[in-house]
A and B are shown apart, each in its own frame.
Chain A
Amino acid sequence: EVQLVESGGGVVRPGGSLRLSCAASGFIFDDHGMSWVRQSPGRGLEWVSSIAWSGGSPTYADSVKGRVTISRDNGKNSLYLQMDGLRTEDTALYYCVRDDKVCSGGSCQHFDHWGQGTQVIVSS
């Protein structure tokens, strides 16, 4: 069974930092690209960042570019999101998601498994 378990969320002041982690199990981790998607309270889904199976080709939403770094450790079956310079608008539930390897990355990129999410609250 595919499992994605996020951790590292919490309450942080504006300008602060957090490192989100995602522990993956139940599948061959380095067969898949991975991504982060967030959802603000009562709002829709927003893609944040993606990374290829190799750890290369990271991509970022304009709303977080320059403040966020995605990375992965295939030896530990783990995905990370380093978030710096946090803003109140970054408050959201952050989901770790698996790219469907049918077309990981590129024009048909989509997400076939989602974690339960980790909550990030940015508030003074």
Chain B
Amino acid sequence: SYELTQPPAVSVSPGQTATITCSGDKLGDKFVSWYQQKPGQSPVLVIHQDRKRPSGIPERFSGSNSGSTATLTISGTQAMDEADYYCQAWDSRVVFGGGTRLTVL
């Protein structure tokens, strides 16, 4: 079965750029979405179809996908961005990555 691999944790200083990766076999040939989940809350879609931002998502969130790696980039990271982030793709079934905890310190 298809697998998506994310680093368990990423840390960033406020105002800096956070980069969260998601790896999978030929992932660049698939569409990738990203979800943000804060403690005690339901996930929120922040990027879909590799790089599209839903309405209401700040411009500091961006995405890319090429080769075997998709990347979520948060520019000018704020304390409110501290959360778990999950990538998701489709390979005959929906697949989620294991999640990355972003710490802003």
- Count how many pairs of residues, one from A and one from B, have CB atoms less than 8 Å apart in the complex: 62
Q: Does A1 contact B (CB under 8 A)?
A: no
Report how far A107 CA is from B28 CA in the complex, Å: 12
Report how far A116 CA is from B43 CA in the complex, Å: 9
Task: Give chain B residues whose Cβ lies under 8 Å from the Cβ of A111.
Answer: 33, 35, 43, 45, 88
Please state if A46 and B96 are interface contacts (CB–CB under 8 Å).
yes
Tell me the minimal C-beta distance from A113 to chain B in angstroms.
8
Task: Give chain B residues whose Cβ lies under 8 Å from the Cβ of A50.
Answer: 94
Which one of A44, A100, A106, A110 lies within 8 Å of B99 (CB-CB)? A44
Tell me the minimal C-beta distance from A21 to chain B in angstroms.
17
Q: Does B54 contact A (CB under 8 A)?
A: yes
Please state if A114 and B90 are interface contacts (CB–CB under 8 Å).
no
Please state if B42 and A109 are interface contacts (CB–CB under 8 Å).
no
Task: Give chain A residues whose Cβ lies under 8 Å from the Cβ of B48.
Answer: 100, 102, 108, 110, 112
Chain B residue with Cβ nearest A95: B42
Which one of B43, B90, B97, B98 lies within 8 Å of A107 (CB-CB)? B90
Q: A100-B48, A108-B31, A108-B49 are in contact. Are A47 and B93 (CB under 8 A)?
A: yes
Q: A45-B86, A45-B99, A62-B1 are in contact. Are A110 and B93 (CB under 8 A)?
A: no
Report how far A100 CA is from B86 CA in the complex, Å: 17
Report how far A85 CA is from B27 CA in the complex, Å: 35
Q: Which residues 55-105 of B have a CB within 8 angstroms of A?
A: 86, 88, 90, 93-99
Report how far A121 CA is from B81 CA in the complex, Å: 31
- 1/0 per residue, CB under 8 A from A, across B25-58: the answer is 0000011010101000011110011000010000
Given A44-B97, A109-B90, A112-B45, 12 other A-B contacts at CB below 8 A?
A44-B96, A44-B98, A44-B99, A45-B43, A102-B49, A103-B31, A108-B31, A108-B48, A108-B90, A110-B88, A111-B33, A114-B44
Query: Can you sample 9 A-B contacts with CB below 8 Å?
Result: A44-B97, A44-B99, A47-B94, A103-B31, A107-B31, A109-B94, A110-B48, A111-B35, A112-B54
The residues of A with any CB-CB pair to B shorter than 8 Å are 35, 37, 44-47, 50, 59, 61-62, 95, 100, 102-103, 106-112, 114-117
